[in-house]
Amino acid sequence: MIQRSLALFGGLFVLILVIGWVMGLPFTSSRLVEAAAYALIALGLNIQWGYGGLFNFGIMGFLMLGGAAVTFISFPVNPEFWGSDGPMMLGRALFAFAVGALIVLAARQAHRIGITGKWKGALTVLAWFCAYVLYRSQLDPAAAYIESAGGGWVGGLGAHPVLGWLFGGVLAAGIAYIVGKICLGLRTDYLAIATIGISEIIRALIKNMDWLTRGTLTVSPIPWPTPLPQDYQAGGMDIAASLIAARAGYLVLALVVLAIVMWLISRAYSGPWGRMMRAIRDNHVAASSMGKNVTSRQLEIFVFGSVLMGIGGAMLVSFVQIFDPSSYQPINHTFLIWVMVIVGGAGNNWGALFGAVLLWLVWVVSEPLSKAVFDFVSYWSTNAGWGAIPEIEARSAQMRVFVLGMAITIALRFAPKGLIPEVVKREDARS
């Protein structure tokens, strides 16, 4: 088992070297930083699916939350907004939100004054409606005012990006807690569909709340936690060297975060907590009869996994320096992560890490590779008199999706437990 893992990681290292040699160091260094962030996200999914057996298909929503969080924390302050009436109006909207929440909570307690059954249901619906109308009546003018006269949008807080990453984790945790409270009672495929639905709702909100996130207008440039290439260039370094130096700095920071997370979750996995989680995953009825609180343990694991997704999403956004809500797609940000974990090996942290780096490299390399293949076929078919392949550029960009689908299909068929499968330790094992 160890030998196989070492061989696979060795192969991955060779692959990185080959890509570095063919595509150049600046390209490879960026991809490696992204791979580190994706590894963090894949570890988050591995906690949820590999340890806990929870079917989270809303990864995209948590990545967006992380991105929005780091934008909010680390982008420079927008003085125009803070000098206008905007904060006051937003405060009123927040107050309306609180009052609405109180109305709903009060309606839920209606049985105490003798309103039960259908009447209570009707009252709850009415309370939700009133709260919604109240909130919209305060928020809509505030949003319209900020977008037209109050500086365009809220702006950031101008804090250090690493604080933004942490806030990404906190925000994702908060939303995951609410989502988990709502959805975790559901059976697996219902949970998958519900989480997809929630991630689409999050996407619609972030995309359209222009006053908070600037929506499709996008926010850039988001500052880096480490020195930018421009800083190195100001010190007299040439462009290529500065790119590599800056990205290497970012990569080191990302790897430090990854190493800390890996150490923590490996310890948790091999401890009593990890054993309990696997027991719940494999047979939650038996686990609950042993006195484990299945619902709250699952909620716990859902929140922990989402924290890593939020941090990873924040790292990705601050690396590319632009937060563009319309660039988030379920294929690129949810299904890709799933393929990483399934191919790598669900339930094994090294497997998830391996799958994340491998699949990210395959994902980015499959476009230039298929372009090369198409160019070759096109050259051959032109010589044979059949004419060239039209629109090679656009077509090879679409091959990534096909390659991703093929990777997961092959993995499910021939290595259903992943390339580095979960190791089940037994006390009485004789092997």
Partner 1 sequence: MTEIIFFINQVVISGLVLGCIYALGAIGITLIFGILRFAHFAHSELMTGGAFIAFLLASAFAAWGIATPIPTGFVVLPLAMVLAAILALGIDKGFYAPLRKRGAKPVTLLIASIGVTLMIQGLIRLFFGAGSYSFFENEPKEIFRIDTSAIGSTRPLVITEPQVLMIVVTLVSVIALHFFLTRSRLGKAMRAMADNADLAQVSGINTALVVRVTWVIAGALACMAGTMLALDVTLKPDLAFNIILPIFAAAIVGGLGQAYGAIAGGLLIGFAETLAVFNWTMLFRPLNAILPDWLQLPAQLALVPTEYKLTVAFVILVVTLLVRPTGIFKGASS
Residues near partner 1 (CB under 8 A): 55, 182-183, 185-190, 192-194, 196-198, 200-201, 204, 207-208, 331, 335, 338-339, 342, 391, 394-395, 398-406, 408-409, 412-413, 416
Nearer to partner 1, 193 or 369 (CB): 193
What is the spatial distance between Cα 46 and Cα 343, in angstroms, rounded to a whole number?
Answer: 12
- Which residue type does 19 have? I
Q: How far is the CB of 95 from partner 1 (least distance, A)?
A: 22
The sign of the torsion formed by the CA atoms of 278, 279, 284, 288 equals negative
Both tokens assigned to 357: 């780096």
Mapping DSSP to helix (H, G, I), strand (E, B) and coil, where does residue 155 land? strand
Q: How far is the CB of 291 from partner 1 (least distance, A)?
A: 25
Q: How far is the CB of 104 from partner 1 (least distance, A)?
A: 13
Burial of 6 (0-12, 13-18, 19+ CB in 10 A): exposed
Nearer to partner 1, 55 or 360 (CB): 55
Q: How far is the CB of 301 from partner 1 (least distance, A)?
A: 17
| 8 A C-beta contact, residue 171 and residue 65 | yes
What is the spatial distance between Cα 359 and Cα 362, in angstroms, rounded to a whole number?
Answer: 5
Nearer to partner 1, 137 or 270 (CB): 137
What is the spatial distance between Cα 356 and Cα 336, in angstroms, rounded to a whole number?
Answer: 9
Give the start-end residues of each E strand in 4-45: none
**Rounded alpha-carbon distances, angstroms, from residue 347 to 210, 350, 401, 428:** 39, 9, 25, 21
What is the spatial distance between Cα 160 and Cα 150, in angstroms, rounded to a whole number?
Answer: 25
| 8 A C-beta contact, residue 4 and residue 420 | yes
| 8 A C-beta contact, residue 33 and residue 247 | yes
Nearer to partner 1, 1 or 394 (CB): 394
Nearer to partner 1, 391 or 427 (CB): 391
Q: How far is the CB of 183 from partner 1 (least distance, A)?
A: 7
Q: How far is the CB of 127 from partner 1 (least distance, A)?
A: 14
Nearer to partner 1, 158 or 185 (CB): 185
Q: How far is the CB of 97 from partner 1 (least distance, A)?
A: 17
CB-based contacts of 229, cutoff 8 Å, min separation 6: 239, 242, 243, 245, 246, 247
Q: How far is the CB of 244 from partner 1 (least distance, A)?
A: 33
Q: How far is the CB of 355 from partner 1 (least distance, A)?
A: 14
> What is the DSSP code (8-state) at residue 48?
I
Nearer to partner 1, 251 or 364 (CB): 364
Task: Return the number of other C-beta atoms located less than 10 Å from residue 79's C-beta.
Answer: 10
DSSP string of 227-263, one letter each residue: --HHHHHHTT--HHHHHHHHHHHHHHHHHHHHHHHHH
Q: How far is the CB of 283 from partner 1 (least distance, A)?
A: 14
Name which of 198, 175, 151, 164 is nearest 74 in CA terms.
Answer: 164
Nearer to partner 1, 168 or 418 (CB): 418
Name which of 324, 328, 318 is nearest 73 in CA terms.
Answer: 318
Nearer to partner 1, 198 or 258 (CB): 198
Both tokens assigned to 130: 């009133």
Q: How far is the CB of 390 from partner 1 (least distance, A)?
A: 9
Mapping DSSP to helix (H, G, I), strand (E, B) and coil, where does residue 323 land? strand
Instruction: Tabulate helix, strand, coil % of the chain (nearest 5).
Output: 80, 0, 20
Place of tokens 């909010």: 72
Nearer to partner 1, 235 or 405 (CB): 405
CB-based contacts of 56, cutoff 8 Å, min separation 6: 45, 48, 49, 191, 192, 195, 302, 305, 306
Nearer to partner 1, 167 or 335 (CB): 335
